[in-house]
Every structure is written in structure tokens, then in C-alpha cells.
Amino acid sequence: MRLVSTMFSSCRCSSAITKTASPVPSLAAFSIPPLRRAFVSFSHLSFTRNSVSSGNLKFCTVSASKSDFQSHSFRHEGGESFFRDVLTSMETVYLNRNPTAKAILELVHSVDDEQICYDHLAFRTFGVNGYGISSIASFFLDYGYTQQEELRFPAKKLKALWFSPPRSSSQDGGSGINGPLPRVFISELLVDQMSPKTQEIIRKYTEKSGSGNKYAALASSLGSLTWEKPLYSEFQQLAGESEYAAWTLVNGYALNHVTISTHRLKSNLRNIKRLNQFIEQNGFKLNSEGGVLKVSPDGLLLQSSTVADSIPFCFSDGVNESVPCSYIEFAERLVLPQYKNLPENEVQEFHRRDGFEVGNADKIFESTSKEQLTRRA
């Protein structure tokens, strides 16, 4: 099995996780031919919502009409270039720190010169002192994104919102960040529900950050924390109660993962089961929590993900330890029942299952857990 490792020459004591010495080019730098199929990006949507309850979990499915997808365009003329530059910087930090993600993107691209489109980008936050979902969402809302469904994860003490992108001038071409604009999925830890000790640690660092929450997108694009580096004992305290909290303490607003839209691939890898098999055959470990393939109750949203990479981190007390970083996800959205008779060459993005599922996302969160990272060793 091929092992992918992260090499760092030194661990510098700074406000950010150490970066690699030589920058990894963004996926946008790859030489990729124009898209051969037209895609319709997501716009201001009017949703029909169907809910299915299962214990404490509530599953929501959404669908939209073609007119919904055509009504909301990029908000600021001339601003799209800047917006994509920021996303490219976020992606570059992500690729520099996560060799598995970079290797898989290159591997998938190598098959028939594949065009890669992102389904969504995901971020984690602390729901306290203005550092929650709104801190990173404000950047996307300013550039035309639209807030959609809320998801709740009671056992993990989390909530999340997802945001649909506007139509863009380059939605029909490009790859990765330069392709169709992705959805955005932002979660937050419900800090008030944590133990007093964990709350104290989180509040300590977010309060010392001052107005850092106003610069979440900048922090993400630079790969910097907006607060001081924590003590190792504090990281251990959070990890013992919530791996999500520990991850966010040392990674901040860094991209938690990007997601390849498998149904937008043109080779046989467009089927997520074949893609999963292909990835495992090439020596990569997939998150096995709840099974490798996570399937929504309606059977129309299929997701899987790798196990997160780990990187060395220099804590403020001089302790050097490995901490979980990010991972890469895969999502296949199947055609909605009302469009099942459409010829394949006529199927566009708005004909497919939209939104997210609590059940799927709950298992995907485990990609950074100690149990899954231990499996990787």
C-alpha cells in the first residue's frame, strides 16, 4: 500500500500551523481542457422540503425548479475575480498541508484528463463570541451566496448551515476553484453545551483574539490562527471531550475539506462506488464510520471521504505533537424522481438532489477522529 506522509522540516512557534517549505500549486494551475458539458450553478432557490425523522435526527431533502437556479447571479460585477483569488488561496493552504488531498486530486485528474468540479467547501467554527458560522459566512454572503438549510447534531453538540452559490460568469468552464462555484457548508460547536473547563479554554482564546472573527476569510486564505497557539494540555482537554473542538483550536478557519463532485466527472469514476474502489486500490484509506459509503434516506445523496492527514504542531509550551489536519470528500448527487426519464445528456445540476443530510454528515465528521486516524497508521 502506498503511504502518503506530510514532511515538515521544522515546527515554528507562530500563530499558524507550520506550512511546507515549497508551495503546492492550486488545482487551478493544472493544464485542463474546457468542460465538455454545461453545468448550471446554484442560484437563489425556492425549496420544496421533505422531512424524515429517525430518532433524534431529522433528515431534510430539497429540490428546486430551473427558474430558481436562474434568478440569482453574482452580486458584485468585477468582484468575482477577487472572490475566486481568495478561494484559491484557501485551496493552496489546504493542498500544502494535506498531501492526501493533493495526491487524490492529481490521481483523479490523470484519468482521461478529468475535469474536477467541487461540490462544496467545508469550515469548522466555535459558536461563541461571534466566532461561529456567521464569521466565515459573511464573506460568502457578501459575494452572492444564499443561506439554506440548518442541520443539527445533538450528540456532537454541533449545528451547521449550508449556502448555495450564485451564478457566475465562468460557471460553464474551469476546474476546481475556477470551475462552477461550490456550495459552502459551515458548522459550529455549541460551546455553551460543553463542560465548564472546555468552555473556559475556548472563551480564553476567542476573547484574546479581539476582532479576529471579522477576518475569518483572511485567516483561512493565509493559513493563520486568529488566536494564540494553545497549551498542549488545553488541546488534550478539548480532545477528550470533543475532537471537533480540539481540531478547531489548532486549525482555526482552515478549510476542513473540499468535496469532489463525482457525477460531474466524465470517466467511469463518476460512479462513487467505482471511485471509492479506485482510491482504495491506490493505497488510500477511506473513512469507515457507518460504512465507507454514506447514503441519505432517500438514496439520492451518496458520500464518502478519506481519513484526515496529520501534521506536527508546536504548542505554546514548546510541546511538539502531531495533530489532525484536513481530508477530501466525494459526493454523488442522483437525479430527482421527477426527472428520472430525462435523457442523460439533458440532465443538469438542478435536476439532481440538492442539500445535505444529518446522517451522512455526522459520519463524515469522523474523518478527523482519533479512531479513524489510528486506522490509517
Cell numbers at 15, concatenated: 500563530
Distance CA 209, CA 212 (A): 5
Which residues of the chain, if any, have pLDDT below 50? 1-71, 376-377
DSSP reduced 3-state for 193: helix
273-286 pLDDT tens trace = 999 999 999 999 99
Rounded to 5 degrees, φ, ψ at 290 are: 70, 15
DSSP string, 61-106: EEE--HHHHTS-B-SSTTTHHHHHHHHHHHHHHHHHH-HHHHHHHH
Go through the chain and tell me how many residues it has: 377
DSSP 8-state code for residue 161? E
CATH ID of 77-168+178-374, from 3.40.50.720, 1.20.120.420, 3.10.180.50, 3.60.21.10: 3.10.180.50
Rounded to 5 degrees, φ, ψ at 8 are: -125, 130
DSSP reduced 3-state for 261: strand
Structure confidence at residue 169 (pLDDT): 60
Sign of CA dihedral 132, 134, 137, 139: negative
End-to-end CA distance of the chain: 12
Instruction: Answer whether 0.85 is exceeded by the pTM.
Output: no
DSSP reduced 3-state for 51: strand
Distance CA 18, CA 16 (A): 6
Structure confidence at residue 112 (pLDDT): 82
DSSP reduced 3-state for 207: helix
Structure confidence at residue 72 (pLDDT): 60
Structure confidence at residue 170 (pLDDT): 59
Least Cα distance to 294 among 325, 277, 272, 279 occurs for 272
Structure confidence at residue 120 (pLDDT): 98
Is residue 116 within 8 Å of 265, Cβ to Cβ? yes
Sign of CA dihedral 40, 44, 49, 54: positive
